[in-house]
Structure 1
């Protein structure tokens, strides 16, 4: 399997589990809104901002983010729409990258003003692992959605989306 194929699969997995998590949060309803839910939304917004920052970095484009955290969190419906749009962007982006583009080193500036240098492959790996870390954090904040958090494993995703992988010779 090529790095491009693996990364595209990881971003399809990310989009799938993000979708499940967002649906679970939406299913909590307005009456379940609590400090824990507000904290979870702040965490998801942070992960989303980092996704957007690195999307710009991957394309060598400037972005307008001065920080990777925001005190203002959009409502869940808007945040969910934004996350899903960004997930689609990453799936499309990783589906068309050539090996030499993955290996290309890109210079960028972190939101704190520090300089950074990573290959696109490294940046994409960062985005996937960073998002997974924060989805786990949300699962710890909101035990009501634990069943969704427990499904957040790549092997489980592969077997759900490709049931033939469960078949034995």
Structure 2
């Protein structure tokens, strides 16, 4: 599973970059961009909250939603840095650390308890869901979404092993 988690976090970083690049190409005047920023800002905040939980550190968030939306360029830089941090972090974990259960508090004040591996899977699946929301918004506005599927990433990242030209 550890190897799979590493691959999933590389995929997450790639998929986020693909979507962020696509949004930047649309331009700030696109009606899609503010909606995408709202969804992706939420994803970023949840990523940061769980990064703190994983390290048993406090975080500064009292909500999983930003009170003020960042500019796309700032969100882009923040998400890319967070994704790099997760890729590096996951590479350091061993089986015992993945299975370790961590107690924490959700932003609504309720207690939580999850294994590190469960938290990491939440970060992956949560991001997939919100990228899907942004893709749906793009489709409703007749804008082709980013090609951010796991199979696309696999065939780009591992082209020789997938019988594809590099």
TM normalised by structure 1 equals 0.91
User: Which of 16, 21, 24 in structure 1 is aligned with 2:19?
Assistant: 21
Deviations 1:104-139 (A, max 9, x none): 000000000000000000000000000000000001
Unaligned runs of 5+ in 2: none
| Alignment map for 1:1-169 (pairs within 5 Å) | 3-32=1-30, 34=31, 36-143=32-139, 145-148=143-146, 151-167=147-163
Q: Which runs of 4+ in 1 moved over 3 A?
A: none
Structure 1 position 145, deviation (Å)? 4.8
Structure 1 position 4, deviation (Å)? 1.5
Structure 1 position 5, deviation (Å)? 1.1
| Contact 2:19/2:148 (<8 A) preserved | no
Query: Aligned partners of 1:4 and 1:166: how far apart in 2?
Result: 21
Query: Aligned partners of 1:67 and 1:59: how far apart in 2?
Result: 19
Deviations 1:5-40 (A, max 9, x none): 1111100000001001101111112332x2x32111
- Secondary structure of 1:146's aligned partner: coil
Unaligned runs of 5+ in 1: none
Provide closer, same or farther for how the CA distance between residues 31 and 165 of structure 1 changes in structure 2, counting only shifts above 3 A: same
